[in-house]
Structure 1
Amino acid sequence: MLPSPRLFRSRWTALLWAGGILWFAHDVAGSAPSGTGNSAALTDADGDAANVADLRALANVIDQ
Structure 2
Amino acid sequence: MIPMRHSTIFKNRWWAVLWAAGILWFALDVAGGSDEAVQAQANNIVATDATGAPVTDDQARQLAQAINSI
> Which one of 46, 49, 54 corresponds to residue 54 of structure 2?
49
Structure 2: stretches of 5+ with no match in the other structure: 1-5
Give the equivalent residue in structure 1 for 2:19: 17
Number of residue pairs the alignment of both structures matches: 61
For residue 58 of structure 1, report the CA deviation from its aligned partner: 0.6
Runs (4+) of structure 1 exceeding 6 A deviation are none
TM-score, with structure 2 as normaliser: 0.60
Give the equivalent residue in structure 1 for 2:3: none
Provide the alpha-carbon RMSD of the alignment: 2.8
Q: Identity over aligned residues, as a percent?
A: 40
Query: For 1:9 and 1:42, how far apart are their aligned partners in 2?
Result: 53
TM-score, with structure 1 as normaliser: 0.64
Structure 1: stretches of 5+ with no match in the other structure: none
For residue 59 of structure 1, report the CA deviation from its aligned partner: 0.4
